[in-house]
């Protein structure tokens, strides 16, 4: 099999490249990304591509996709959160161009990285399956764009019924090697590794809606590997046990949960956002506290997928990676960016560079 991965240098992409290197059914992998890494992986070659390139990218993608047995779409921009036009161009218009190229090249299988954030607000006391509406939370760009891409996939499946379309909807995807990159995307330059220690957090804020699911990066990569090699189609929820709440976080951080009003927490985040102290918008917080819990039965029964890393261990890896400044040798996951945190302050914290 020949596989093309678009967004091959990010959190899931790097893990999937490694997984496919060990997959006998896969003979070659083409990794596409805006910034090509300086690293060698068995069976893998690299090429640069930017989905925002309205004039040229569709033709280039078609050339890359010719003869491919599967295309995996992992490319996504979360930042700059203060410039939703840029993220829309990459995530929605870029996906539109990619879908056109998949159809033109007659690729038989497309695997799309969706998200729990594509789901409409849902319950926290029970899990929902893949039929739950994917309307997202419209005020948050990330959720809104994930939901819109679900509509693009609906139309694509209608027009291209012979293409096997697989949609992976993971919870929060954590691992040690992604810690530095995720710190830059969600926490910002004012979160320093030495401060990420249990003894410095005696109290754990608890609030309504603080129940969510996580999954380890390697387990998400395994789900994609199965989706490539097995003749499955449709959507799959990906999450590990247990569900994360204030009690679990309190145990991990050796902190006592303390109930706080959700409006107070949001107000504090909104103030930090206005002062450009954090790249995470209050609208993203609104989406987070409304995420449904996902039932992963279909992934187990149809895909044959079961997570090997627990939610607690995935969280511990993230915390340890934040404390140590861990990363990986691909551009999005590098432990340090050129210019350090000064560059982050100048070009990040939710702003367009």
pLDDT of residue 26: 97
CB atoms under 10 Å from CB of 353, counted, come to 10
**Contact, 252 vs 319, CB < 8 A?**
yes
Task: Please indicate, yes or no, whether residues 138 and 200 belong to a single structural domain of this protein.
Answer: no
Handedness of CA 303, 239, 136, 121 (dihedral sign): positive
Q: DSSP of 260-281, one letter per residue?
A: --HHHHHHHHHHHHHTT--SS-
76-94: average pLDDT: 94
Task: Please indicate, yes or no, whether residues 61 and 27 belong to a single structural domain of this protein.
Answer: yes
Task: Please indicate, yes or no, whether residues 204 and 137 belong to a single structural domain of this protein.
Answer: no
Residue 303 domain flag: no
pLDDT at 15 over 90: yes
Task: Please indicate, yes or no, whether residues 77 and 180 belong to a single structural domain of this protein.
Answer: no
Contacting residues for 109 by C-beta, under 8 A, at least 6 apart = 69, 70, 71, 163, 164, 165, 166, 228
| DSSP 3-state percent helix, strand, coil across the chain (nearest 5) | 45, 15, 40
Task: Please indicate, yes or no, whether residues 332 and 316 belong to a single structural domain of this protein.
Answer: yes
pLDDT of residue 337: 77
pLDDT above 70 covers a percentage of the chain that reads: 96
Domain that holds residue 51: 2-172+215-238
pLDDT at 352 over 60: no
Task: Please indicate, yes or no, whether residues 49 and 113 belong to a single structural domain of this protein.
Answer: yes
Number of domains comprising the chain: 2
pLDDT of residue 351: 57
124-141: average pLDDT: 97
Task: Please indicate, yes or no, whether residues 113 and 204 belong to a single structural domain of this protein.
Answer: no
pLDDT at 79 over 60: yes
pLDDT of residue 113: 98
pLDDT of residue 198: 64
Could you tell me how many residues make up the chain?
353
Q: Measured between alpha carbons, how far is 99 from 221 in angstroms, rounded to an integer?
A: 21
Task: Please indicate, yes or no, whether residues 279 and 248 belong to a single structural domain of this protein.
Answer: yes
pLDDT of residue 353: 45
Residue 300 domain flag: no
Q: Which two tokens stand for residue 304?
A: 């044959």
Handedness of CA 29, 35, 36, 39 (dihedral sign): negative
Least confident piece of the model among 9-13, 94-98, 246-250, 344-348: 344-348
pLDDT of residue 256: 87
Task: Please indicate, yes or no, whether residues 131 and 150 belong to a single structural domain of this protein.
Answer: yes
Residue 304 domain flag: no
- pLDDT tens track for 319-348: 899 888 888 888 899 888 777 777 777 765
Q: Which of 117, 133, 110 is closest to 234 using CA atoms?
A: 110
pLDDT of residue 200: 67
Task: Please indicate, yes or no, whether residues 139 and 190 belong to a single structural domain of this protein.
Answer: no
The confidence band for 202, taking pLDDT boundaries of 50, 70 and 90, is confident
275-300: average pLDDT: 95
CATH number of the domain bearing residue 34? 3.40.50.720
Residue 223 domain flag: yes
**Contact, 9 vs 33, CB < 8 A?**
yes
251-271: average pLDDT: 91
Contacting residues for 114 by C-beta, under 8 A, at least 6 apart = 134, 146, 149, 150, 167, 168, 169, 235
Peptide bond into 242 cis (omega under 30): yes
Round the average pLDDT of the chain to a whole number and report it: 93
């Amino acid at each position: 099999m020949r596989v093309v991965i678009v967004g091959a240098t990010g959190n899931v992409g790097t893990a999937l490249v490694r997984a496919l290197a060990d997959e006998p059914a896969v003979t070659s992998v083409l990794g596409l990304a805006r910034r090509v890494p300086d690293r060698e992986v068995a069976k893998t070659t690299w090429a640069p591509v930017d989905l925002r390139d309205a004039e040229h990218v569709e033709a280039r993608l078609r050339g890359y996709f010719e003869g491919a047995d599967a295309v995996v779409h992992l490319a996504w921009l979360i930042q700059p959160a203060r410039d939703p036009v840029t993220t829309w161009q990459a995530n929605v218009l870029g996906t539109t161009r990619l879908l056109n190229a998949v159809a033109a090249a007659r690729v038989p299988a497309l695997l799309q990285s969706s998200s729990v954030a594509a789901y409409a607000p849902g319950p926290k006391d029970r899990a929902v399956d893949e039929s739950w509406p994917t309307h997202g939370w419209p005020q948050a760009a990330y959720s809104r764009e994930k939901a819109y891409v679900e509509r693009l996939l609906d139309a694509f499946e209608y027009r291209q019924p012979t293409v096997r379309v697989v949609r992976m909807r993971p919870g929060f995807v954590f691992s040690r090697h992604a810690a530095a990159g995720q710190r830059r995307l969600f926490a910002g330059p004012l979160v320093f590794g030495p401060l990420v220690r249990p003894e410095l957090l005696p109290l754990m804020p608890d609030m309504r809606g603080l129940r969510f699911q996580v999954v380890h990066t390697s387990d998400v990569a395994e789900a994609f590997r199965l989706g490539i090699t097995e003749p499955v189609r449709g959507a799959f929820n990906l999450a590990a046990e247990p569900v994360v709440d204030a009690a679990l976080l309190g145990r991990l951080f050796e902190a006592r949960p303390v109930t706080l009003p959700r409006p107070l927490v949001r107000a504090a985040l909104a103030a930090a956002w206005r002062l450009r102290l954090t790249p995470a918008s209050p609208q993203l917080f609104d989406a987070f506290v409304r995420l449904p819990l996902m039932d992963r039965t279909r992934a187990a029964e149809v895909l044959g997928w079961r997570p090997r890393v627990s939610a607690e261990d995935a969280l511990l890896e993230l915390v340890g990676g934040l404390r140590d400044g861990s990363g990986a040798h691909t551009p999005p996951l590098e432990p340090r960016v050129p210019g350090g945190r000064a560059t982050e302050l100048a070009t990040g914290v939710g702003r367009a560079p």
